[in-house]
């Protein structure tokens, strides 16, 4: 039975790493002493060790130990045996490339389907959708596929950003980009604003946090949903 | 002998499509009556016909006819025989996928190397670099490769945007993203602000327009260059 927290971001403005969601994680990870961390997305190019230290520092506040998957000889076994898993943000293309390189896509999908609790933030949330085709990241490496875990029947757009009506910049707005996605793909997309997350438990998918989220369905006008909305019908 | 205008954008704020650069294009395309338009990037998912009409409307102001490559049975021959070529912006992943699908990468490279004048804006400029790994676009389709024309020995980042110091958004800045690119790739990147372009003529690569551009070299602090700067040393 799926048990996932799929968060827009690790960090909200003016607060420390994971700080806004630590209370939730205390409950969510209550049966785990150790969290297996997947640091592959390497934000800003930091090393796997540095990134794991950052995650460990946050989780120490709720009494959890963190181990980086890069320290295991057999990462497939590490995932199978994990009490809990956290994939941090960074670059989605780098993350997905590493997951494929280490043959972790299938085992991660199986393990999460079987109920190992999983936290994803940003890139770590993107991979829970069908594909990374709604990532915001720069495509700095070429992964063998854009297909990901499909733990949700739709795609995530993390760090969702409303159009800046004062901007003189002519680059596409986030909404324009997501609509372009739906010129070529039919799955829905949920734009998760920073501080929002999805709590997935079995068949239930509920929006959490203080903010609304924006839903993009194929051939429909985008619309807002309130925190607490059940999304198990969305596909 | 290369003869290219590689522009950050088609449109600057408060002005019509290509309007800011029409005077330059009058001179640049002086020997061409007809411009072959590559509409594959389909901004906002518009059709090839609609996009071609948009380009035709702008070029009619300087007395040029525009024909869309999608109207030719043999697009390879269309490129070989073109008097001038323009590739418009939109989604870089869609553009590159279509170029590969129609076997146009090699012929485009050869034709531009031989001197057919070429204008690229945004996505149409991205493809002049080594790869699309510094595109800003959403990866809405999976292209067979990120490698592109290599008409320049470096990469372009169009619509370059300076960090917004007032923002509370935690998504990566453009500079952070480009630095991440250089954690995995060594080529330089030029951040072209809207209204800037590179004029490439033979061995000369000169920054044009009113603004400075930002250069990212591997393992160096990024720096600004003034309009008029010769970039033929950059690689």
Beta strands in chain B (DSSP E): 3-7, 34-38, 65-68, 85-87, 118-121, 155-157, 189-191, 197-201, 204-208, 213-216, 223-225
Cβ-defined contact of B133 to A145 (cutoff 8 Å): no
Domain ranges of chain B: 3-225
CA distance A90 to A103: 20
CA distance B19 to B41: 20
Residues 6+ apart with CB under 8 A from A222: A175, A178, A214, A215, A216
pLDDT digit string (tens) for B38-84? 999 999 899 999 999 999 999 999 999 999 999 999 999 999 999 99
Cβ-defined contact of B181 to A138 (cutoff 8 Å): yes
Instruction: Give the residue among A30, A37, A48 at the shortest CA–CA distance from A10.
Output: A37
CA distance B193 to B212: 8
pLDDT digit string (tens) for B118-139? 999 999 999 999 999 999 999 9
Can A122 be counted among the known catalytic residues? Answer: yes
Mean pLDDT calculated for residue range B162-179:
86
Mean pLDDT calculated for residue range B78-102:
98
CA distance B3 to B15: 26
CATH 3.10.105.10 fits B3-225, yes or no: no
For chain B, give the mean pLDDT.
96
Q: Given this model, what pLDDT does residue A169 score? A: 80
pLDDT digit string (tens) for A34-64? 999 999 999 989 999 999 999 999 999 999 9
Q: List C-alpha distances in Å: B154 to B41, B199, B228, B231.
A: 21, 14, 18, 10
Q: Given this model, what pLDDT does residue A164 score? A: 82
Q: List C-alpha distances in Å: B156 to B31, B159, B191.
A: 27, 10, 6
pLDDT digit string (tens) for A168-180? 887 788 999 999 9
Interface test with A, best of B12, B125, B141, B170 (most A CBs within 10 A): B170
- Our measurement of the distance from residue B159's CA atom to the centroid of its chain's CA atoms, rounded to an integer in Å, reads 10
For chain A, give the mean pLDDT.
96
Instruction: Give the residue among A131, A56, A63, A49 at the shortest CA–CA distance from A86.
Output: A56
Rg (alpha carbons) of chain A, rounded to whole number? 17
pLDDT digit string (tens) for A67-110? 999 999 999 999 999 999 999 999 999 999 999 999 999 999 99
Confidence grade of residue B156 (pLDDT, cut at 50, 70, 90): very high
Can A31 be counted among the known catalytic residues? Answer: no
CA distance A220 to A141: 33
When CB atoms are compared, the residue of A169, A176, A185 closest to B44 is A176
Q: Given this model, what pLDDT does residue B171 score? A: 78
Q: Given this model, what pLDDT does residue B42 score? A: 96
Cβ-defined contact of B169 to A159 (cutoff 8 Å): yes
Q: Given this model, what pLDDT does residue B14 score? A: 92
CA distance A139 to B99: 18
Q: Given this model, what pLDDT does residue B168 score? A: 82
Mean pLDDT calculated for residue range A186-210:
97
Mean pLDDT calculated for residue range B163-175:
84
Q: Are strands A213-216 and A189-191 parallel, antiparallel or unpaired?
A: antiparallel
């Amino acid at each position: 039975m799926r048990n996932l927290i799929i968060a827009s971001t690790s960090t909200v403005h003016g607060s420390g790493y994971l700080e806004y969601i630590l209370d939730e994680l205390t409950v969510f990870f209550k049966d785990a002493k150790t969290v297996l961390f997947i640091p592959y997305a390497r934000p800003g190019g930091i090393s796997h060790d540095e990134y794991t230290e950052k995650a460990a520092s946050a989780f120490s506040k709720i009494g959890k130990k963190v181990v980086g998957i890069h320290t295991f000889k057999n990462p497939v076994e590490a995932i199978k045996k994990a009490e809990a898993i956290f994939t941090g943000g960074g670059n989605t293309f780098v993350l997905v490339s590493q997951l494929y390189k280490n043959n972790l896509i299938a085992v991660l999908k199986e393990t999460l389907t079987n109920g190992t609790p999983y936290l994803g933030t940003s890139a770590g949330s993107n991979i829970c959708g069908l594909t990374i085709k709604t990532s915001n990241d720069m495509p700095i490496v070429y992964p063998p596929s854009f297909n990901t875990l499909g733990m949700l029947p739709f795609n995530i757009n993390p760090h969702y950003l409303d159009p800046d009506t004062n901007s003189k910049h002519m680059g596409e707005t986030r909404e324009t980009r997501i609509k372009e996605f739906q010129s070529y793909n039919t799955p829905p997309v949920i734009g998760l604003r920073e501080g929002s997350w999805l709590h997935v438990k079995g068949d239930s998918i509920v929006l959490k946090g203080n903010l609304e989220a924006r839903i993009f369905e194929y051939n429909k006008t985008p619309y807002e949903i309130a925190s607490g909305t059940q999304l198990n019908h969305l596909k």
